[in-house]
A and B are shown apart, each in its own frame.
Chain A
Amino acid sequence: MRNVWIICSKELRSYFTSPVAYVLLTLWGVVFGYFFWAELGVFLKYSMESQMSGQMYPMNLNEQVIRPLLQNVAVIGLFFLPMITMRLFAEEKRSGTIELLVTSPIRDSEIIVGKWLAAMLLYCCLLLFTVVHFLFLFKYGNPDWKPILIAYLGLLLEAGAMLAIGTFISSLTKNQIIAGASTFAILILLWVLAWSDFSNTGWSHVLSYMSLVTHSESFMRGVIDLKDGIYYATLIFLGLFFTARSMESLRWRS
C-alpha cells in the first residue's frame, strides 16, 4: 500500500508540475461551463414560457438540468480521459525510467494500481469543477441530492473502467500519440456499441450490453444496479490485469 502511494503521488506530482493538469482543468472548465450555461438557459426559457402561459408545466431541476448535464460529463470525459492516461507508461518507456521502476523492490501490480489511482484522482479534480456549478443550483433551487450522488458514483466507475483501458493501451507503446489515439478509438467503439441493439438477435443484445453507456443509465437515473457496478468493476480489473501481463511481456521481450 505504501508503494502504491509512492507511485501515485509521483504521478500526481508530474501531472501538476507540468502544465498537463492545468491545461486539462482549464479546457474542462470552459467546455463544461458552456454546457451548464446552455442547459440552464433552456430550462429558464421553459420556465418563463410556463409562467407566461399561466399554466404550470412540470418542472424538475434533477430531471431537466442535472441529469443531462451529468450524462454530458461522461461524453466530455470520453475526449479527456485518453489525454490523462496516454503518458502513464508510454513516457516511462520512452525515457527509460521504466527500468528504474522495474528494478526497484516494488511489485508490478503496485506500479500499475498507483498509476491508475493517480489518473482517477486527476479525474476527481475534473469532477470537482462540475460540483461547483451544481452548488449554484442548490443555492437558487431545491434539487434532490441523493440521485446526484449516485450519478457521480456511476461517473467514477465509468471513468475508472475507461482509465484502466487507457492504462493498458499506454503500456503497449512508447508513443504517447499512438496511446492516446488508440485509447480514444477503443473507448468510442465501446461507447457506440449501445447502438447495436437495432435487431432483436442475440448478438446485438450482447454487443449493446458490452457498451459503456448502457450501464451508466441506471446510475444516471439515481438507481444503483449491482450488475452495472459489476460490469465496471470487471472492466477495471481486466484493464489492470492486462496491463500487468503487458509489463511482464516487456521483460521477456525487450
Chain B
Amino acid sequence: MINVKDLTKRYARTIAVDHISFEVPKGQIVGFLGPNGAGKTTTMRILTCFMPPTSGTAMVAGFDVLEQPMEVKKRVGYLPETPPLYPEMETAEYLKFVGQLKGLSGAELQKRIDYVCERCAVVDVKKKLIGKLSKGYRQRVGLAQAIIHNPDVLVLDEPTAGLDPKQINETRDLIKDLAGSHTIILSTHILPEVEQTCEQVVIINKGKLVATDSVRNLQARARGAESIVIEVGGGNGNLQASSVQQKLERVSGVSRVLCKNQVDGRAVFEIESQKGRLVRGDLARAVVESGWDLNELRPAAMSLEEVFLQLTGKEKETPSEEPVATGARL
C-alpha cells in the first residue's frame, strides 16, 4: 500500500530524511517511531503530498506522490500534529466542508458525516462550535476529518499527543478499530503506544532508518543474554534475601543476581544468565531444595523502550518506577 524507496528530504542546511526505504502492506498498522526531530513529520508530509521529496520515490496506494499527487490525495486521510480545525465552524459544518474538499457531495456526503461522527464518538458535539470543544473532542474531530472520504491510507501524526490517559486509550482503540479497512501509518514518540497498537515498527533517528520489523521480532532481536525474573517466598515469613541471593549466585551459568524487591516473606530477583545457557531448571531446583517457595519464574521480556534505546545508541536512563503505561517518553 505504501512503498517508500530511498526517500530524502533536504532543507537549506539540514537533511531531515536521509535515504529511507520501507514498505507497508495493506491493512496493517505501522508505528513510526523516533525522538523529536527525527524526521517523522517530514516523511508523513511527503507521503501526503504536502511537500515533495528532494530525491527518492514514494508510492501511496499505487500512485507516485510526485507524478500523480491528485490521485494520492484522493486516497489518503491525514491528521497533522495539530488537527486542522476551523474554530468558527460547527463540527458537522466542518466535516461537510472537508467532505466537499475531498470530492464528496449530496446524500453520500451526509451518510459519511453521520458515519464518521458515530465512529469517532462526536455525535453529541455535532452542533457545537469547534472552538469550544475540549482537546479530546478536537482530536476526534480531526480523526473524523481524516476518514471522511474512506481513504485507503490513513496518516496520523502523533494522534494521542496532549490527551489524557482515558482519551489516549479511546483513541488507540479507535485506531485499532480502523485497521483492516484502512492501512494506517502513525507516528509517535511514546513507546508503549507502538507496543499496544502497531503490528510493525519503523524506527528512525536523525533522519536515518534504524530498524523496520514487527514488534515481536524487534524485541526478540534486541534480547541478548537471557534475563529471568524470579520470585521466592519463605516458609514462615522470615526469608533472608541475602542467603537466597548467595544460593542463586552459586547456580552454574548465572552471571549476575539482582535483588529487585523485598517485602516480608517474599523477594524478587532479576537474574542474568550467560549467553546460550539454560539455567531456569537449575534455578527452580536450587530454590525448592533449599526449602523456599518458588512463586514465580518468567523470562523478562525486553520492552520496546530498551530496544529503541539500544538501537538508537543512547544510554538508558534509570527508571524511577515501573514505567507508566502512557508517560514513558524519550
Q: Which of A95, A103, A253 is most buried by chain B, counting CB atoms within 10 A of its CB?
A: A103
Checking A18, A105, A252, A254 against B88 with a beta-carbon cut-off of 8 angstroms, the contacting residue is A18
In the complex, chain B residues whose CB is within 8 Å of the CB of A252: 51-52
- In the complex, are the beta carbons of B70 and A99 less than 8 A apart? no
CB of A88 to closest CB in B, whole Å: 13
| B73 beta carbon closer than 8 Å to chain A | yes
**Given A95-B84, A104-B73; A13-B103 close (CB under 8 Å):** no
- In the complex, are the beta carbons of B84 and A97 less than 8 A apart? yes
Checking A96, A105, A251, A254 against B73 with a beta-carbon cut-off of 8 angstroms, the contacting residue is A105
What are the interface flags for B94-106 relative to A under an 8 Å C-beta threshold, 1 for contact and 0 otherwise? Answer: 0001101111000
- In the complex, are the beta carbons of B52 and A13 less than 8 A apart? no
In whole angstroms, what is the CA distance A104 to B146 when docked? 10
In whole angstroms, what is the CA distance A101 to B145 when docked? 12
In whole angstroms, what is the CA distance A195 to B48 when docked? 50
In whole angstroms, what is the CA distance A98 to B86 when docked? 11
- In the complex, are the beta carbons of B101 and A14 less than 8 A apart? no
- In the complex, are the beta carbons of A96 and B80 less than 8 A apart? yes
In whole angstroms, what is the CA distance A238 to B98 when docked? 29
In whole angstroms, what is the CA distance A97 to B130 when docked? 13
| B76 beta carbon closer than 8 Å to chain A | yes
| B133 beta carbon closer than 8 Å to chain A | no
What are the interface flags for A1-40 relative to B under an 8 Å C-beta threshold, 1 for contact and 0 otherwise? Answer: 0010010001001100110000000000000000000000
- In the complex, are the beta carbons of B80 and A99 less than 8 A apart? yes
Q: Count the B residues whose beta carbon is within 8 Å of the partner chain — how many?
A: 29
What are the interface flags for B66-95 relative to A under an 8 Å C-beta threshold, 1 for contact and 0 otherwise? Answer: 000010011010101110111111000100
| A59 beta carbon closer than 8 Å to chain B | no
- In the complex, are the beta carbons of A10 and B97 less than 8 A apart? yes
- In the complex, are the beta carbons of B88 and A17 less than 8 A apart? yes
In the complex, chain B residues whose CB is within 8 Å of the CB of A42: none
- In the complex, are the beta carbons of B84 and A99 less than 8 A apart? yes
**Given A251-B51, A254-B51; A103-B76 close (CB under 8 Å):** yes
In the complex, chain B residues whose CB is within 8 Å of the CB of A102: 49-50
A-B contacts, 28 of them at CB < 8 A, read A3-B101, A6-B97, A6-B100, A6-B101, A10-B97, A14-B89, A95-B84, A95-B85, A95-B86, A95-B87, A96-B80, A97-B84, A97-B85, A98-B84, A100-B78, A100-B101, A102-B49, A102-B50, A103-B50, A103-B78, A104-B98, A104-B101, A104-B102, A105-B73, A105-B74, A105-B101, A105-B102, A251-B52
Q: Which residues of A contact B (CB under 8 A)?
A: 3, 6, 10, 13-14, 17-18, 95-106, 251-254
Counting from the closest, the 6 A-B pairs by CB-CB distance are A100-B84, A105-B73, A104-B101, A97-B84, A103-B48, A96-B82
